A = this chain, B = another copy of it.
Amino acid sequence: MAESRPEKYPAIQGGGSLMIAWQVKGKHVLVIGGGEVAAGRIVHLLNADAVVTVICPSSGLNPEVSYRVAQKQVTHVDRIFLPSDLDDKDWSMVLVAIDDPAASTQIWKLCKQKRLVANIADVPPECDFYFGSVHRDGPLQIMVSTNGKGPRLASMIRRFIAKQLPSNAGRAIEAIGELRAKLRQVAPRPEEGPKRMSWMKDVSDKYSWEEMCEMTDEDMTNLLTFYEPNKVPSFEDLRGMRASAIEAAKADVFDGSFGFSVGV
């Protein structure tokens, strides 16, 4: 019979948010308003491949939003919001960033009636979710949230983290994704799945994060030769397999013997 061993289980720390990576690729998102806040939301949405519609009179668009409209990065509806807009498409979410608290609250209520996910900027009780400060480097995304205690601090922490991360962190993640894909080419049979997974786990465990960041394409090709015997070399050994390292070793031998003959 399993004993209850609470010390093994994470202690609950209430007061946080549920941090999630929302999938909006190819989905319709409605942005109501076209000012500075809307401009920031639009960048987040386009970075996540959303199909964005902005409803805002042209006179209310800030230069950045106007630029996105001109570039056809978003669809622009040149008027104020009408309740029927909510039925216009199968919206994945609705983001409101207008300077009209009463209208905002009305839109929030309509969204809730229609079970639409919504965020009314600067009105926490009228938000299904909050935004945070996000660091982006290719496939890597890091969101910092202070749960409303300090948005400026969140940006500060985000910049602090960005400074600490190896500069090629995003590239390293791509590389691991590539290694996994290459491994599936080397060992494509479905029944090898468990061996593939366990070897990838061994690879992750063997190398430090910093070492992974330094891994070249050549290193990966060499590393894959260790899959068959189900081994993972040290990073030093892996680096020693580089053509340049082998050349250097050969040159050392040559220089050494030359030096020796001259010396004698």
A-to-B contact residues, CB < 8 Å = 2-6, 8-10, 12-24, 39, 43-50, 63-64, 66-68, 70-71, 73, 115-117, 124, 127-132, 134, 136, 138-150, 152-153, 156-157, 160-161, 164-165, 169, 172-174, 176-177, 180, 200-201, 204, 209, 212
Given the known inter-chain contacts A16-B48, A20-B130, please indicate yes or no for A67 contacting B146, CB distance below 8 A.
Answer: no
Please state if B144 and A4 are interface contacts (CB–CB under 8 Å).
Answer: no
A149 to B164, CA, bound (A): 21
**Choice from B23, B147, B204 contacting A127 with Cβ under 8 Å:** B23
Question: Closest approach, in angstroms, between the C-beta of A13 and any C-beta of chain B?
Answer: 5
Please state if A143 and B21 are interface contacts (CB–CB under 8 Å).
Answer: yes
A63 to B129, CA, bound (A): 31
Please state if A176 and B201 are interface contacts (CB–CB under 8 Å).
Answer: no
Q: Which residues of B contact A66 (CB under 8 A)?
A: 2, 4
Question: Closest approach, in angstroms, between the C-beta of A126 and any C-beta of chain B?
Answer: 10
Please state if A13 and B146 are interface contacts (CB–CB under 8 Å).
Answer: no
Please state if B153 and A17 are interface contacts (CB–CB under 8 Å).
Answer: no
21 A-B residue pairings within 8 Å (CB atoms) = A4-B63, A9-B39, A9-B64, A12-B46, A13-B47, A16-B47, A16-B48, A17-B141, A18-B44, A19-B19, A19-B22, A19-B131, A20-B20, A23-B124, A139-B147, A141-B147, A142-B142, A149-B174, A150-B173, A161-B161, A161-B164
Interface centre among A124, A153, A201, by most B CB within 10 Å?
Answer: A153
Please state if A130 and B21 are interface contacts (CB–CB under 8 Å).
Answer: yes
List 9 additional contacts besides A19-B44, A19-B131, A153-B176; criterion CB under 8 Å: A4-B63, A4-B67, A13-B47, A15-B49, A16-B47, A18-B45, A21-B131, A139-B148, A149-B176
Number of copies of chain A assembled together = 2
Q: Which residue of B lies closest to A200 (CB)?
A: B152
Interface centre among A5, A145, A164, A200, by most B CB within 10 Å?
Answer: A145
